[in-house]
């Protein structure tokens, strides 16, 4: 089976995973701007790697590939014989009947002349049989040649179909990879933005509304309309989780849905793993 290699693929915009943050010394206040509400208690090291996000996205974007199984040469040959051979068999039979008819006419003519089984009559019949054999051999040679030609064309067509299928599958897979990387990069940037911009104060105060919306983290957008979006303390997050359907909470807890990865990460950064476990106990999923 012919296989086309899938073209090498690299992310269009390389993103370097953040370096692990230095552990904070006991009793020493955290450096950097103060955060409102609970703030992010985790750090950039809690962010899934770009490769992990890409692999997760790829599971959802990979298409169903087309399967093609070419027929074996023996199967193709037998198939062609089934429709090609009868015509040659009929031609051979017609030629032999022609010889029998001519010989019968020669016998009738000889008996009418009183020649019987003469040497001349036997010689003429022998020439008829030799001519018949030459014609039959010619027909058999033509049959073998035509069979080989049809078999070559059929195998060539099978090869072309295999190449077309492999090319189609390769294009679909490469397109899916590009889509998966675009989605992974968007999610990765959102996670980085949420990790680095969790300090107090509103973001982009002088910018327009569109700019502010583009800079808001996923958690802030989900919390809009339910209190101060900047306050991501335990109570605010608990209220939000309580309003979720059990099926949504299940996907949030077990990371089965990539749409909830950013929200899960921001909740963990805000309240920590211990409080997150408490949320899972208080508000179980489906």
Distance CA(121)–CA(108), nearest Å, equals 11
- Whether the pTM exceeds 0.75: the reply is no
Find which of 12-21, 40-49, 206-215 is predicted with most confidence, using mean pLDDT: 40-49
CB 239 within 8 A of CB 195: no
Q: Which residue has the tokens 């949320």?
A: 279
Domain ranges of the chain: 47-196, 215-286
For 32, 43, 220, 271, the CA distances from 234, given in Å and listed in that order, are 22, 17, 14, 6
Q: Give pLDDT tens digits for 66-95.
A: 888 999 999 999 999 999 999 999 999 999
Question: Which secondary structure element, helix H or strand E, spans residue 3, and what is its range?
Answer: none
Which residues contact residue 127 at a Cβ distance below 8 angstroms, ignoring those fewer than 6 apart? Answer: none
Q: Give pLDDT tens digits for 183-215.
A: 888 887 777 766 544 443 333 333 334 434 433
């Amino acid at each position: 089976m012919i296989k086309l290699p899938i073209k090498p693929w690299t992310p269009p915009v390389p993103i370097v995973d953040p370096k692990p943050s230095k552990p904070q010394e006991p009793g020493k206040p955290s450096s950097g701007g103060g955060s409102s509400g609970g703030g992010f208690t985790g750090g950039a090291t809690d962010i899934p790697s770009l490769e992990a996000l890409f692999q997760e996205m790829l599971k959802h974007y990979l298409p169903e590939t087309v399967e093609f199984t070419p027929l074996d040469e023996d199967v193709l040959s037998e198939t062609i014989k089934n429709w090609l051979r009868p015509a040659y068999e009929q031609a051979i039979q017609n030629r032999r009947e022609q010889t029998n008819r001519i010989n019968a006419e020669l016998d009738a003519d000889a008996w009418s002349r009183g020649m019987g089984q003469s040497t001349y009559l036997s010689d003429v019949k022998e020439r008829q049989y030799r001519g018949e054999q030459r014609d039959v051999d010619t027909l058999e040679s033509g049959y073998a040649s035509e069979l080989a030609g049809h078999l070559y064309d059929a195998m060539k067509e099978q090869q072309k179909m295999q190449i077309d299928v492999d090319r189609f599958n390769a294009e679909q897979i490469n397109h899916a990879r590009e889509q998966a990387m675009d989605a992974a990069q968007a999610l990765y940037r959102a996670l980085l933005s949420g990790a680095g911009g969790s300090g107090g104060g509103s973001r982009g105060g002088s910018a327009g509304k569109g700019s502010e919306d583009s800079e808001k983290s996923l958690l802030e957008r989900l919390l809009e309309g339910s209190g101060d979006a900047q306050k991501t303390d335990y109570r605010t997050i608990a209220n939000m989780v309580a309003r979720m359907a059990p099926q949504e909470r299940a996907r949030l807890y077990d990371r089965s849905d990539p749409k909830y990865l950013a929200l899960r990460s921001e909740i963990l950064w805000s309240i920590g793993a211990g409080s997150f476990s408490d949320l899972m106990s208080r508000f179980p999923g489906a």
